[in-house]
Amino acid sequence: LVVQFEADTERRKLGLPHRVNFLGRSSLEPEYTQTEEVELHRQRHTDCATAIFQLHENIRDKLRPISLAITHTIKPVPPRRHSAKRAQKLPPVLNISPSNMLHSEVNFLREGCGSDKICQSNLKLSYQFGTIPLNSDFTPLPKDDDGVQVFSLSNQRLVVLEVTITNMPSDSLNPEEDGDDAHASQLFITLPNTLPYAGSRVPPQMICQANQNGSKVECDLGNPVKRNAKLKFTINLSTSNITTETTELTADLQLATISEQLDLDPVTAFAKVVIELPLSVSGLARPHQLFFSGTVKGESAMTSLEDIGSPVDLEIVVSNPGKALQTLGSAFLNVMWPNELANGKWLLYPASLKFEGQPETRCSPARAVNPLKLQSSSAADQVVGRSRRSHPEEEDQVMTKGSDGRIIPAVAASERRKSLKLDCLLGSARCVLFQCPLHSFTGQAVLKIHARLWKSSFIEDFPTVSALELLIRANITVKSSIKHLVLRDSSVQIPVMIYPELGPADQYWIPWWIILIAILAGILLLTLLVCILWKCGFFRRAHYKDKLPQYHAVKIPRELRPQFQTEKSGSVHKKEWATHWSDGTL
Distance CA 140, CA 119 (A): 35
Distance CA 324, CA 177 (A): 60
Distance CA 412, CA 461 (A): 9
Give the per-residue pLDDT at 188: 95
Distance CA 234, CA 162 (A): 4
Distance CA 456, CA 347 (A): 9
> What are phi and psi for residue 130, nearest 5 degrees?
-170, -170
Distance CA 544, CA 584 (A): 11
Give the per-residue pLDDT at 406: 37
Distance CA 140, CA 123 (A): 23
Amino acid making up residue 68: L
- 165 C-beta neighbours (distance < 10 Å), count: 24
Distance CA 331, CA 347 (A): 29
Each residue's pLDDT, cut to its tens digit, for the chain (586 residues) gives 788 888 888 888 888 888 888 888 888 888 888 888 888 777 777 888 888 888 887 777 777 788 888 888 887 776 666 555 555 667 777 777 778 888 888 877 677 677 777 788 899 999 999 988 877 788 899 898 889 998 887 667 789 999 999 999 888 788 788 888 888 889 999 999 989 999 999 998 899 999 988 899 999 998 888 888 999 999 999 988 887 788 889 999 999 988 888 888 899 999 998 887 778 899 999 998 999 888 888 888 888 888 899 999 999 998 877 666 555 567 889 999 999 999 999 999 999 998 886 777 888 999 999 999 888 876 433 333 333 333 333 333 333 333 343 334 444 444 444 678 999 999 999 999 999 888 766 778 899 999 999 999 998 888 888 899 999 999 988 877 777 777 777 899 999 999 987 655 555 567 788 889 999 999 999 999 999 888 887 777 655 555 555 556 667 777 776 665 555 455 555 555 555 555 544 4
Taking the mean position of all CA atoms in its chain, how far away is CA 512?
53
- 26 C-beta neighbours (distance < 10 Å), count: 9
Q: Are strands 289-292 and 311-320 parallel, antiparallel or unpaired?
A: unpaired
Amino acid making up residue 346: W
Give the per-residue pLDDT at 582: 53
What is the pTM (predicted TM-score) of this model? 0.54
Quick one: which of 141, 134, 155 has its CA closest to 249? 141
Distance CA 428, CA 325 (A): 36
Angle CA(190)–CA(159)–CA(267) in degrees, nearest 5?
35
SS3 for 152-207 is EECCCCEEEEEEEEEECCCCCCCCCCCCCCECCEEEEEECCCCCCEEEEECCCCCE
Taking the mean position of all CA atoms in its chain, how far away is CA 26?
67
Distance CA 233, CA 249 (A): 19
What is the three-class DSSP state of 113? coil
Distance CA 218, CA 255 (A): 10
Burial class (CB in 10 A: 0-12, 13-18, 19+), 385: exposed
**Does an H or E element contain 217, and which?**
strand 216-222
Distance CA 414, CA 512 (A): 19
Taking the mean position of all CA atoms in its chain, how far away is CA 523?
58
Angle CA(358)–CA(364)–CA(365) in degrees, nearest 5?
145
